[in-house]
Chains A and B, each alone.
Chain A
């Protein structure tokens, strides 16, 4: 294997992601677990950058670090007696099984990739423009207008629901 700056960066980012994830599930202190989650999400953003998908990287940081993590942190802060609880409950064998299955599935996919079953698609220069066009076009191969709008309506409904619940 050839060591290039990109591979070094990949291993650093992979270490961030894996180490962070491990920290999330093993830490007793919930707030520290949230911090580890941020580290893992940052690692994932770095991986997106290495895959030449800066848009996804920026959105990853914006939504997961800037919004979701802040939400998690505030939820932890305003909830009483949440610290230091046992981090696993009686259903942990089941969760472990599901986790293993997921890892195995992903592993098989990656193995297929190594075997050369899927061709490597190059990244087009105007990926951002094409992403934008795909989200607003309603015919052709890359038409995601309807899913995009459905997702928007879903989020709007969730927002209104949250406000209604909060007002009660």
Chain B
């Protein structure tokens, strides 16, 4: 089992050159082909993901989930998709046509483009640009524009209000997410996705668990899943910015939403779970692809789990949680870890000459241990602070509702 992607590339190259193509032209054709295949695969895998999510959600909620079409209902999504594609696209009167149809396209593109920088194996990556992480941030900011376009061009007040809410939430949660994107960049010393994955002899989730957790929370908000699923609130803003979309245009928004979730899971797996790394992945790159898939689905399962169990938070709580808790915490974490890391580096470089090396787990251990300690301390203090504030708030509430019970000492919850 060698590197399957290199094998395919060599086969295609020899085929095209055999057909009389120039080396440069053949390379260009294969590049376009690979991009098309990658984009299509990301969308095709959604058919499986949607079924998986509905099935797991069903089990979590003590239901069976889809079970009619095919064995275990596995073809349910295909049936749904066919229905969606054959439906009429209703265009609301007064809609601004170009932005109306540009929005779903931009939305899907902003998600699919991210896959260009995700390393599938040690050797296979769409393009290992030296600004990989920044590229992800730039591309995903297109999604926000798409939301605004959709909300504005629909000529519907619910869509516009939904778009405003979505933009406010997405922009806010982008801040802690980008701050936590800094962590792998700082630790690996590179913005290349390939290098970040390769540098994780010890996964960053073990050395920086709090950073990974903050990233996970921000990610859940970015993909709009519960407890942050307020982009679609039937009782307040109907379906949010996509209220007026139907048929294929709606299907594109739907696909973009699911693809976004899957993409963010791939990003977590790459940045914090070591990406393609695993036993034997360096000798057999194809194995790395399988490891990556497993890791992505572990994160994805976590995302489904939180969706199935957590209740929805009120919108003002969502915002204040981000600005008053998550962002300060992320800032404190980054400043403290870099400071401690630097001091430890100066103090320990004599005892551990390989302090900054990322080659083997043994080399990384001292640094990982120190970072882990900082993370644990910051995390415990944050949890303690939350518990304190929460208890004080509850006491105030009880005092306001039942003044007598406080005096009697009954409000000692």
Which residues of A approach B to under 8 Å, CB–CB? Answer: 5, 31-32, 35, 38, 54-55, 58-59, 61-62, 65-67, 69-70, 73-74, 77, 128
Contact = CB atoms under 8 A, between A and B. Distances in A.
Contact of B144 (A55, A58, A59, A66): A66
B141 A54 contact: no
Given A31-B99, A74-B148, A77-B152, A65 B135 contact: no
A128 B129 CA distance: 11
Contacts of A65: 138, 141-142, 145
12 contacts: A5-B28, A31-B99, A35-B98, A55-B130, A59-B134, A61-B141, A65-B141, A65-B142, A69-B145, A70-B148, A77-B152, A128-B130
A66 B129 CA distance: 20
A54 B130 contact: yes
Nearest to B140: A66
A84 to B, nearest CB: 13
Nearest to A29: B96
A163 B145 CA distance: 24
B160 A58 contact: no
Contacts of A128: 130-131, 191
A114 B171 CA distance: 44
A31 B152 contact: yes
Nearest to B171: A70
Interface in B125-143: 129-131, 134-135, 137-139, 141-142
Contacts of B135: 54, 58
Secondary structure of the B contact surface, majority rule = helix
Interface of B: 28, 96, 98-99, 102, 129-131, 134-135, 137-139, 141-142, 144-145, 148-149, 152, 160, 164, 167, 171, 191
In the A-B complex, the 6 residue pairs with the closest CB atoms = A66-B141, A61-B138, A62-B138, A58-B138, A58-B134, A58-B131
B404 to A, nearest CB: 38
B145 A77 contact: no
B99 A38 contact: no
A77 B145 CA distance: 13
Contacts of B102: 35
A62 B134 CA distance: 8
B295 to A, nearest CB: 26
Nearest to A127: B130
Given A31-B99, A35-B99, A54-B129, A73 B148 contact: yes
A69 B142 CA distance: 10
Contact of A70 (B130, B167, B191): B167
Contact of B139 (A32, A35, A61): A61
A38 B191 contact: no
Given A31-B99, A35-B149, A55-B134, 14 more contacts: A5-B28, A55-B131, A58-B131, A59-B138, A62-B134, A62-B137, A62-B141, A65-B145, A66-B137, A73-B148, A74-B148, A77-B148, A128-B131, A128-B191
Contact of B145 (A32, A58, A59, A66): A66
B152 A73 contact: yes
Contacts of A55: 130-131, 134
B22 to A, nearest CB: 12
B105 to A, nearest CB: 13
